[in-house]
Amino acid sequence: MHLPTLSRFLFMSFLSLFSCSAPQGLSSLSAQDFSELLRQKPDLMLLDVRTPSEYAEGHLPNSVNVDVLAPDFERRAAEVLGSQRSVALYCRSGHRSKQAAAQLTRKGYTVYELSTGWMGWVEAALPTAR
């Protein structure tokens, strides 16, 4: 098989595999892509799913803190989101936001998740608030 054709085939196979691994209604984005999404959709609700103490140390501008580890996370998220069916969310490193995304996609929300979390956002030198 021709090398460029093989490379293209392997790349397309990887993309197919990767796209099948994310739950329907979930998009995991890099810090730069997440920033661009927030710029393009200024009315998109942004949830910080870290603990209140982590949120107090710094967060993304215009984010609302709803701790995914709280027993009433789904109820509180629904209150904050109101009638919105799309949400952007993040945590410290990406693990808890995946938990939150799984819960919210099961409830029918379209979720955009910052795959690198707060740490990736800060590393990319994107805007923060206190």
**Strands 110-114 and 64-65, bridge-based pairing:** unpaired
Q: Running DSSP on this structure, what letter comes out for residue 30?
A: -
Tokens matching residue 117: 């979390």
Q: How many CA atoms lie within 13 A of 8 on its CB side?
A: 5
20 is catalytic: no
Q: Running DSSP on this structure, what letter comes out for residue 24?
A: T
Rounded Cα–Cα distance for residues 40 and 37 (Å): 5
The residue annotated as part of the active site, out of 31, 66, 91, 114, is 91
Instruction: Tell me the one-letter amino acid at 81.
Output: L
Q: What is the 3-state secondary structure (H, E, C) of 95-125?
A: HHHHHHHHHHHHCCCEEEEECCHHHHHHHCC
* Residues with active-site annotation: 91
